[in-house]
A and B are shown apart, each in its own frame.
Chain A
């Protein structure tokens, strides 16, 4: 199975390399830009690329789209980058891959980031051993959606702390039959890690600090205990949260059956549809925090990087700088509602006028925290997924789950 897949991937890479060659022989340079299917209409991105081509005579850019599944993209990149494939020059990478790809030597180092040009979260996530290996392109982070109409009706304010949220949810759910208090993503998958880290980080906790595993800490115990209490003690979250991913939780909230929802900004659009049952009744807020902590939404999003084996290093770097630059990010934001990684754009009049919702997210993105930045992230995440899931489904106490995860992650990083 394995060798066959590699074989096919190699064949594919060889075929692509073959395609690129004639252009080089003509004296022109063709840059291949690989990315997953990112957003709706591809024309605005293409228009930007055309502009880049006009500014760089002799350079042509070809976009190549990868399957939407993040696992498949990760595999494709890893297999081809490891084989030092020259078949693509610029690539879009998920925030959680940068450290691994950088340590493997697959990405070109891009120099120091302009201080303050990008939000802190993405800036931290693209940096490995003090150097940037990718530039933030667009960002994503967790948000709290709430039923504005119901909070107003009962004279309640959006919650600032997790305990406030529990109080509000119990009060409203007690008065509205069939209403769940708070829905989020609790299935054993990457989304669960994103959710759980928001509790840990907003209580001053962490997974790694200076390369050490600091998971089994009092802050984390308190945070994870609150998360499991939502289900088992306060019962504001239905037990079926252990099967919920983004869409099912969005549906539940969209049908008017939940007071609070934790989701990514994308969900906003669905609630604006006039046919939606919650149309006009939805408010957004920063995710709650613990009394001594700060709201800490988990960071997602995509970065652009240069393949270290690319034959066109300078042109590729120029393309990455161009597409992650202020002008390009503004244009993509206006065209698609794409969320720029540059804080300055959130004060831009044109953007605020055309995408008022994006404009409201500046504070959220400024507070967003990356998942642990380690080359072993995928394996660390698998451990976290399983132990967080054990805690939420009541199989292990939060304390036992954290201690168990601590041991397993230490083993992974120790063997590395």
Chain B
């Protein structure tokens, strides 16, 4: 009896140890650094300053600007991805000729490395010779005007990540029992009623999972925007991750930069917590 009880721990120990080393320890270390005044270029040795870095954060307009940019980016790109992803999933739900080929084409943007697609979009956004202005017959300074730049980044993210949402939702749709649809057909339910009463409620858990992944990913967005604009013009596309990167790896301010990193972590943890809470309620 006794040995049986001990056994799970033995099996879990290696995984727990690994997680501890690669996740918990670095995280705790970053939290610790965020409580210090520590800059690589500062000749003074690092000193413990308690919550000073967080007080500085609260008064830092650049931080609030970055948080606002990040929130806007997440809200707009994730909602568009969900709507479009759902539309694709519903369209691809039933078998038809050429579906497999269409699958492949839709997944393509997701398969391209972000830095590569960002470079590609940079050229398409080019105001003089870019294909986007050519097609639209417009003269939009996509990446160079503070009003457009963040929206241009949203556009690229939607292009890139909608396939991911669609893929998850297709999987979700396929797990809905066909009997329900047949029963609805017998009852003479309209397509709209079927979508509202059967598909969406049963798809809700998968929608939440997709939202959870996308929201967290979008909140940490770095590479796409860094390649497109580097945070400019006038900080209008500087997200929290870009600000954190500049503080940590350009300014080498490890104390304050860690406080920024912890703030990103805290936001992501809150978002994840909220989704998990919702998910549990739905599943119960």
Contact = CB atoms under 8 A, between A and B. Distances in A.
Interface of A: 1-4, 71, 74-75, 78-79, 82, 100-101, 103-105, 186-189, 238-243, 248, 252, 257, 375-376, 378-379, 382, 385-387, 389-390, 392-393, 395-396, 416
A382 B246 contact: yes
B257 to A, nearest CB: 8
B26 A2 contact: yes
A172 to B, nearest CB: 18
Interface stretch (B157-165, B192-200, B211-219, B248-256): B248-256
B233 A78 contact: no
Interface stretch (B78-86, B87-95, B112-120, B141-149): B141-149
A239 B144 contact: yes
Interface stretch (B6-14, B174-182, B224-232): B224-232
A189 B250 contact: no
A290 B232 CA distance: 28
Could you say which of A4, A104, A188, A238 has the most chain B C-beta atoms within 10 Å of its C-beta? A188
Interface string B2-39: 00000000000000000000000110011001000000
23 contacts: A2-B254, A3-B25, A3-B29, A74-B250, A78-B252, A79-B40, A186-B144, A187-B144, A188-B229, A188-B235, A240-B127, A242-B141, A243-B126, A243-B143, A243-B144, A378-B250, A378-B251, A379-B253, A382-B250, A389-B232, A389-B234, A395-B146, A396-B234
Interface of B: 25-26, 29-30, 33, 40-43, 62, 126-128, 141, 143-146, 229-236, 246, 248-254, 257-258, 261
B247 to A, nearest CB: 9
A241 B232 CA distance: 12
A286 to B, nearest CB: 28
Given A4-B26, A382-B250, A104 B232 contact: no
Contacts of A105: 43
A393 B128 contact: no
Contact of A71 (B249, B258, B261): B249
Contacts of A4: 26
Contacts of B40: 78-79, 82, 104
A113 to B, nearest CB: 23
A164 to B, nearest CB: 26
B53 to A, nearest CB: 12
A240 B141 contact: yes
Contact of B229 (A238, A243, A248): A243
Across the A-B interface, the 4 shortest Cβ-Cβ residue pairs: A188-B232, A242-B144, A390-B234, A243-B144
Contact of B231 (A188, A390, A396): A188
B232 A242 contact: yes
A116 B216 CA distance: 58
B221 to A, nearest CB: 15
A372 to B, nearest CB: 15
Nearest to A242: B144
A79 B41 CA distance: 9
A196 to B, nearest CB: 13
A248 B128 CA distance: 11
Contacts of B229: 187-188, 243
Nearest to A103: B43
B234 A393 contact: yes
B233 A187 contact: yes
A240 B144 contact: yes
A239 B148 CA distance: 13
Given A187-B233, A188-B229, A382 B258 contact: no
Nearest to B62: A386
A2 B31 CA distance: 11
